[in-house]
Amino acid sequence: MIQAAWRGTSISAPGPGDEFSAGGVVVRGGEVVVIVPVKRAADGRRVLGLPKGHLDGDETPEQAARREVSEEAGVIGDVVAELGDVRYRYERRGRRVAKTVRFFLFTYVSGSVDDHDHEIEEARWMPLEQAARDLTYAGEREMVQRALSRSAEDR
């Protein structure tokens, strides 16, 4: 399930035992940074996704998204807007976990996708339209679609 978190809209905080992460959709021209994590999907398939991860200490979601983009994709970006939240459930050690990931739209500033960290098998640039079709998870495809819509509005 996807729930938007547009500026000015309040989103309830995660409940006890729930997880919260933040991530980024980094755009350069008509391309977006995508990653292939070392960790596979539950069925063993490679995952094509967006950089994201848990908040460290007292980081804000925006700060965490900026850090994760730098660590996982090797690039630096400027935040343009909050794109929204992706909410889903998964099972860990027999327990259902509710997870929320807040995504931010970034414009590329500097860095190289070759400078990603050890958790990432590959980071690369991909056309936005292709990423909106090919990312593994529907929620992340929706975030890229929102970035595409926003870039169309800016033209």
The total of other beta-carbon atoms located within 10 Å of residue 91's CB is 9
> Which residue numbers in the chain have pLDDT < 50?
1-14
Provide the phi-psi class of 31: left if phi over 0, else alpha when psi is between -120 and 50, else beta: beta
Distance (Å, whole) CA 91 – CA 154: 40
By C-alpha distance, which of 121, 132, 113 is closest to 40?
121
pTM of the model: 0.86
> What confidence score (pLDDT) does residue 110 get?
98
**2-154 has which fold?**
Nucleoside Triphosphate Pyrophosphohydrolase (3.90.79)
> What confidence score (pLDDT) does residue 94 get?
82
Q: Helical H runs in the chain?
A: 61-68, 128-134, 138-154
The total of other beta-carbon atoms located within 10 Å of residue 88's CB is 14
Q: Helical H runs in 27-135?
A: 61-68, 128-134
Distance (Å, whole) CA 112 – CA 106: 15
